Structure 1
Amino acid sequence: MPSEKPQVIEWIFFNRKYDSAARLLRDPIVTFNDIREGIEATGARLSVANPANFWKDLTRSPTPNDNWPTRVFEAGFTGTDAIGAGDQACFAFTPVAEDQTEPFPDILVFDPHNVVPLTIQSLSMAQAMKALGRRDENWLAQVTARLFAIETFFAVVSEREVREVSFLQTGVKMRGGESDAVYSVTCDDGVWLLSVEAKGRREPLHLPQIARASYSLFETVTSQGGELSDVVGVIPFGLKIVGDSEVWAVEFAPVESADETLTAVSQATFMFTPPVPGIS
């Protein structure tokens, strides 16, 4: 069944945010209240109970370009994350680039010919732990941490001169985003943090989400003081399940702003052997 979100986005854009006569965007920020109003106005069969998931669910779709209204794109606008950008902010309308041909061109596509294959043993995981395996982002983050897959990546694949990698925490929530896992990475030029975004098999790696979480992590640790206040920066990193016990890992160049376009610099696949339940 086609998503009913496009009609809600279109109603909000043309009825609350955009002046068609002047071709002027009056207000780019879409709030939770705007979403509730759009759902009620269009009669869409969508829940108004949790509008915070509206944008998250749209971008987690394997075909987000199909869920963006054609009329809004033809008017010259796409969308981007805006969590933390204002009171009850959900997403924002943003102008498309001059040569842009689709709403979300920054979707990274898995290419098995463009990765370094790594075999990661799973014998060190207790059978009882494997028995609790499940298909969610937290489990993927836990498995990669437990099996030192990130450490292997930086030892074998990354071009960085790395001296130490240490797992710090899973599920780090910040005002402007969330990191599924955070590591410290000690290099010749100082200590970096690694912000990991984990995705299941059906969800794409949404690059703006990864960039925003990475920048939010940097802002959070540098503003709080303490041992992490002098980190050099944050390295964005993506994990996505692409097969049974097979995970695609992507290292991106560090970002200096929340809306910066990410650039992949090294990629690998983790093949967990023997297979790990839930990584499928």
Structure 2
Amino acid sequence: MSSKKRGKSEKTAVISHLGEKYLEGRFPDGIVTGSQITQAMAELGSKLSRNNPANFLKDLLRHNPEGNWPEELLEKRIYGRQVYGQGRVLQFFEAPEGVDPFAEDADLPDEIPVEKISSLPMDSLARSLGRTEETWLTQVVVNLGLIGQHLAVHSPDAETIKDLRFLQVGMKTQPEIDAVFVAEYALPDAPEVENVFVTVELKQRRERVLPDQIREQVRKAFEETAKIRDREICAVKPMAVNVIRKEFEGVEEDLILVREYGPVRRKDFDEKYARLIGEEAVYELPLFVVACSAYAVRPAIGALGARKTGGKRG
């Protein structure tokens, strides 16, 4: 169990209160709605805002969930995930022995290739106006072509990718998908190509990539593309991008980390993990990183700066 100090968030008491009800059998499927969360706040006399219960769990899971989750629930291996739609907000669930759903970056390899990438596709004024929010990072990733760079150089499928089309920033689904692309891959010994929908989740520095959120995005991607018949989307390739602080060439700086997960075939998803099998089936979807890459931006971009710790920058 983490040695970090627990109970830093005012939400901890609310989760503990709801967790007691869950253990008593009040939420048989583990699902807690927004109205039940605000009711728990009222029962505790909490001063937390009741205005947006849909986001109650969002920041807690992104920042130090193991430090803010009630100890009595952790001892019973009871964790929580954010769920979406129909007023649902939180789902309690029991994790198997040896599995820590709150573990940070457990899916990353020990060695991640780092390369320099030019920021000149963005003009100097735009670079100087950099901000920290996810929408800015999304613009950087799209403008610098980092998804294409990764898929063409570092992906295990790099030799078969033919085209990559950027579609949209901020696909308004539940959960929202920060950026979406369509990739075309050559099929072995055939003139046809296979269309793959690429979802990209972006996080700021010190924010966690949440596997269950990635799984939900895969589900939404299949739902949104199910109606396409003339150029069928055969698979979804989930990806995630976040900013990490790491030393590179003697300089500690912000690097853009790209992780690529294994593709999910529509046929496999429909048979095993779609809604018709059960609301929670999607959380059993295997999610594993197949490749990672990191990028040092040159010249520097605002909010992605560097701090000298010794040596000279290359």
Written as runs of structure 1 = structure 2, the 5 A alignment for 1:49-128 is 49-61=51-63, 63-84=64-85, 87-100=86-99, 102-105=100-103, 107-109=104-106, 113-128=110-125
TM-score of the superposed pair, with normalisation by structure 1 = 0.88
Measured in 1, the distance between the counterparts of 2:228 and 2:47 equals 46
Aligned-pair CA distance for 1:113: 4.6
Aligned-pair CA distance for 1:216: 1.1
TM-score of the superposed pair, with normalisation by structure 2 = 0.79
- The match for 1:234 is 236
Aligned-pair CA distance for 1:2: 1.1
Which whole-Å deviations, capped at 9, do the CAs of 1:15-49 have from their partners, x for residues lacking one? 3x3327xxx85241110011111112223332111
Aligned-pair CA distance for 1:103: 4.9
- The match for 1:145 is 142
Measured in 2, the distance between the counterparts of 1:45 and 1:218 equals 40
Look up the SS of the partner of 2:233 in the other structure: coil
Measured in 1, the distance between the counterparts of 2:142 and 2:77 equals 42
Is this contact kept in 2: 1:249–1:269, CA < 8 A? yes
* Structure 1: gaps of 5 or more residues: none
- The match for 2:298 is 273
Which whole-Å deviations, capped at 9, do the CAs of 1:80-112 have from their partners, x for residues lacking one? 22112xx20002111211333x4524x325968
- The match for 1:253 is 262
- What is the one-letter code of the residue matched to 1:149? L
Following TM superposition, the consecutive aligned residue runs of length 4 or more in structure 1 with deviations greater than 4 angstroms are: 109-113
- The match for 2:183 is 185
Across the two proteins, how many residue pairs are aligned to each other? Answer: 268
Measured in 2, the distance between the counterparts of 1:279 and 1:227 equals 42
Pair 1:273–1:236, CA change in 2 (3 A): same
> Which region of structure 1 is more displaced relative to structure 2, 127-136 or 199-208?
127-136
Pair 1:234–1:111, CA change in 2 (3 A): closer
Is this contact kept in 2: 1:73–1:103, CA < 8 A? no
- The match for 1:197 is 201
- State the superposition RMSD in angstroms: 2.2
* Structure 2: gaps of 5 or more residues: 1-6, 188-193, 246-252, 274-281, 306-314
- The match for 1:19 is 24
1:6 to 3, 12, 18: 12
